[in-house]
Amino acid sequence: MPRTEFIATGFHVPARLVTNDDLARLMDTSDEWITQRSGIKTRYWVSDGETGATLAREAACKALTKAGLEPGDLDCIVYCTCTPDHFEPGNGVFLQRELGISDIPAIDVRNQCSGFLYGLSVADAWIRTGAYRRILLVGAEVHSRGLDKTTRGRDTAVLFGDGAGAVVLGPTDDPRRGVLSVHLFADGRHAEKLWVDGPGLAHDPYVSEEMLQQGKHRAVMDGREVFKFASVLMPKSVDLALQANGLTPGDVTLLVPHQANLRIIEMVQKLAGLRPDQVYANIDRYGNTTAASIPIALDEALAAGRLRRGDLLILTAFGSGFTWASAAIRW
């Protein structure tokens, strides 16, 4: 049975750079307040005419170019997002249309910050079983249009950025390379600690003036609880990925975690027994791009020469649900 290899990566963010000082002009906050709590200095937000699908298209085209492939060479699209452009259909078909292709399957994965790793698990299974050979795995988000940019929403509005990351996956018969394992977890008891209540069909009507006035269509987060659980469960998932493959923290070349909060990333590094130089972080420049954060960081790390053939890459994420995940990959 073949393994799944990462053939090429790419990412794209909008041109509009938003600083902490920019946000301080919209709400009661400051550069110091945001930086101390999150490590974020800047993020990118979309402008008119940009959507999740257009960001995903740009990231996908960069990855395909590096892979020496055309959109028509793809067998399947796995699109990971928690900010779809429309209630339905899924964004995968809109990306497919942006790429000028048809007929191949396009599946959406809705697992928020863990979405890219959930999507990787799906794509890995399909490639290992021979269902598809060339899969485009994308994480793409447009948070900025759904944020409450007033003081009421500052706890979440300052955290999120827009962007897309893409990976072209394919089979390899080299037993020394590829995805070694992917590990997925969820605990729905904590769903309301980080969620968007509506619009939704649990409500009748599923959207109402009252809902909008109360801000239920905006993301709400219990920051302390999210920090507490993420700081414990992400390093545990790293340990599990290593143990499953008979590896130790010393074997890790690079950990690319979901970029949620710099304090969480530093906590994961310490509890997983890793050195700071074994961890890649770029949250200071992009903010939290949820499902896009890992592929964006991975593409940057590759461009910086942080990964070479034969290196051990570990990925880990934690997000709304709660969901969390990890993966071990031999580059």
Specify the DSSP class assigned to residue 124. Answer: H
Among 20, 91, 261, 288, which one carries the catalytic annotation? Answer: 288
258 is catalytic: yes
Burial class of 96 by CB neighbour count within 10 A (0 to 12, 13 to 18, 19+) = buried
Helices and strands counted in the chain (H then E)? 11, 13
Q: Which of 98, 130, 132, 135 is nearest to 120 (CA)?
A: 135
288 is catalytic: yes
Q: Which two tokens stand for residue 173?
A: 């018969």
Residue 323 falls in which region: left (phi positive, over 0), alpha (psi -120 to 50) or beta: beta
Phi, psi values for residue 45, rounded to 5°:
-125, 150
113 is catalytic: yes
Distance between CA atoms of residues 42 and 294, nearest Å = 17
Distance between CA atoms of residues 298 and 281, nearest Å = 10
Among 113, 143, 183, 261, which one carries the catalytic annotation? Answer: 113
Q: Which of 249, 331, 280, 289 is nearest to 55 (CA)?
A: 289
Among 12, 143, 183, 258, which one carries the catalytic annotation? Answer: 258
**CA atoms in the 13 A half-sphere facing the CB of 137:** 30
DSSP sequence for 270-328: HHTT--GGGB---HHHH-B-GGGHHHHHHHHHHHTT---TT-EEEEEEEETTTEEEEEE
Catalytic positions, please?
113, 258, 288
